[in-house]
Amino acid sequence: MAQSLGIQNASASTSAVSAESVDVWQRQSLQYIHYFGFASLMIIFIGLIVTWVGYIQNARWIWFVQFVIAVWCR
């Protein structure tokens, strides 16, 4: 009995606001923020790969790609 209560407490949410009490529009906006954050990380990751490949191949156009990524990330 005590062990099952411990597991219940350990699996309980630690946030002050539970998912059930959040309005639909708040859930939707949080989901969009999640999507935007993931997309931003992927764009940065792809930009780093392109930059590295351009650096290895001594491509001059890669400086423009670095500039665009730096301006976009600021």
Give Cα separations from 39 to 31, 32, 35, 71 (angstroms): 12, 10, 6, 17
Q: What is the pLDDT of residues 7-64, one digit of tens each?
A: 554 555 555 556 566 688 888 899 999 999 999 899 889 888 988 998 899 888 888 8
Q: What is the per-residue pLDDT for 32?
A: 93
pTM, 2 dp = 0.55
pLDDT at position 38: 94
Q: How far apart are the first and last CA of the chain?
A: 54
Query: What are the extents of the domains in the chain?
Result: 23-74
| 3-state SS assignment for residue 24 | helix
pLDDT value for 65: 83
In the predicted model, is pLDDT for residue 66 greater than 70?
yes
pLDDT at 19: 58
| Strand, coil or helix: 47 | helix
